[in-house]
Amino acid sequence: MIEHHVSPAGDWETVARPPHPALRPLVHRGYLGYREDVGAALRRLEVPHEAITVILNLGPAIMVDGPRFGSFVAGLHDRAVVTEHGGEQLGIQMDLTPLGAQMLFGLPMGELSRRVVALDAVLPAELTEHLAELPDWPERFALLDAFLLARLQRAPAPRPDVAFAWSRLSATHGAVGIAQLCAELGCSRRHLSGRFAQDVGLGPKAIARILRFRRVLSLLDRADGPARFAEIAAVGGYYDQPHLNRDFRELAGCTPTEYVARRLPENRGVAA
């Protein structure tokens, strides 16, 4: 799917494509190619989410909370970060499930917890170079498929207890309690929390909080007319609106009202 927009705010294009069927359980969303030319520096607020973000940068460098990166990988975070670029961008974003990233990178995601690292810390730097040599998005996506499928063939499976806990939390948007997960697995909270944090990057309680928060963001995106925060809080699994407000302040660094007001047009993110 291709979306191309030209407006007084700039010129941008996104191209989305699902990965090979064998990779779909590991890729949180499909591949997203992007090109952006907005004529001036742009700062975005990137709030926590439940995926490992891989940026295959084919254009100018990007700043993430200060440091400058070419291609990079962002582990799970429990607070917002700010990205900034000079007005032009070209690249591919790939969001992996934490256990998918563990399989494809060959290391537990606890090693990337709350960190952003250059791509060559986990994957060959030549990947970006090869992508840049290709003439169009279909060929780039085909190369990604081939590269990841080759790594998947020799990847170890995740630990069953962690995979089960992850699937239950994901399916319920974080609504299942940790005590219930432990009862279903027949293990202690300490055992589950330790293994989960090592393999996923954050503990199950933190992941449940992020999943609940992301559920609310999806409800805000679909809201017709002015957002009714109290109703959205209830549907999203919060006790009340003050509970929702606290999570927004801690995870996004702003109130729900401020977050909605900062959203950029055409689903281009949230201004920092």
Per residue in 140-180, pLDDT (tens digit) is 999 999 999 999 999 999 999 999 999 999 999 999 999 99
The whole-number pLDDT of residue 239 equals 83
Sorting pLDDT into bands at 50, 70 and 90, what band is 224?
low
User: What does the alpha-carbon distance between residue 188 and residue 184 come to, in Å, rounded to a whole number?
Assistant: 11
More confident of the two residues 229 and 117: 117
Sorting pLDDT into bands at 50, 70 and 90, what band is 137?
very high
For CA atoms 242, 248, 253, 258, give the dihedral sign: negative
Domains of the chain (ranges; CATH) run: 2-153 (2.60.120), 159-272 (1.10.10.60)
The whole-number pLDDT of residue 139 equals 97
User: What does the alpha-carbon distance between residue 138 and residue 215 come to, in Å, rounded to a whole number?
Assistant: 31
Per residue in 157-168, pLDDT (tens digit) is 999 999 999 999
Sorting pLDDT into bands at 50, 70 and 90, what band is 227?
low
**Which residues fall within 8 angstroms of residue 164, CB to CB, at 6 or more apart?**
184, 185
